[in-house]
Amino acid sequence: MLKYWRKDVMLVAGHSKWANIRHKKSKEDAKRGQMFTKLARQITIATKEGGPDPESNFKLRLAIDAARSVNMPNDNIERAIQRGVGGLDGDNYEEVIYEGYGPNGVAIMLEALTDNRNRTAGELRHRFSKFGGNLGESGCVAWMFDRKGLLVLEREGRDEDEVMLQALEAGADDVTVNEDVFEITTDPQVFAQVKQELEAVGMKFVGAELSWIPKNNVPISAAQEESVEKLIDALEDLDEVQEVYTNYEVQE
């Protein structure tokens, strides 16, 4: 059972955001080359937007941290930064959000980096249709999600009350206690501040990202999950797709 705090109120929740992230990361590890390509694009875009210094460009710092967490070579990271500052030729990618529905009414949001919106939309529409879903209009499912900062901390050796107090004092919204991790969520505007303050008191996070977190989860069976996962795999196989977020929860 998860314990879920919202400021000074303790609630009960049954869904781990980190469990989904770990599942996604394990699939990415099997496609390391493609993963490096996607991370390099994130680094390039972050550099273009905020400059090449990760100390002053928090988005770049997150992208570099993500790259290092999967052992992306430093040369790859440096080349991606140079593309961002104009040192190397590269395509002009832009960030686009796509939305749709998968099988069993599951809502899906995708973050993409593309140099051709129409081409990417066409490819996504084909994959949605092939696997029992449909690509929707902008805003069709976004209202089902909240944009949040997510920090994941290993639980071992840490006191729950102390972590909760430190996180909330730093400005976090919620702290969820899972079996082996704490999941700390924040408003996106204070995500960098909260992360830095908690790192200053010795917290080392195994996950840190800006995420789309579902407000409520759609219950599906284990058998139904298979069809949803086939669609998600097909979407993630597209190089332009950076992240896929859903709102389903498998009922035991």
Per-residue pLDDT band for 238 (boundaries 50, 70, 90) equals: very high
Q: What is the pTM of this model?
A: 0.78
- Model confidence pLDDT, tens digit, residues 174-232: 998 877 899 999 999 999 999 999 999 999 898 888 999 999 989 999 889 999 999 99
- Candidates 3.30.70.980, 3.40.630.30, 3.40.109.10, 3.30.70.1350; correct CATH number of 94-143+216-250? 3.30.70.980
The topology under which CATH files domain 2-15+144-214 is Alpha-Beta Plaits (3.30.70)
The ranges of the chain annotated as CATH 3.30.70.980 are: 2-15+144-214, 94-143+216-250
- Asked if 137 and 107 count as a contact pair (C-beta separation under 8 A), the reply is no
Class of domain 31-85: mainly alpha
Per-residue pLDDT band for 26 (boundaries 50, 70, 90) equals: low
| Nearest residue to 218 via CA among 250, 245, 248, 252 | 248
The residue type of 158 is R
The ranges of the chain annotated as CATH 1.10.10.200 are: 31-85
Q: Give the separation between CA 121 and CA 131, rounded to whole angstroms.
A: 16
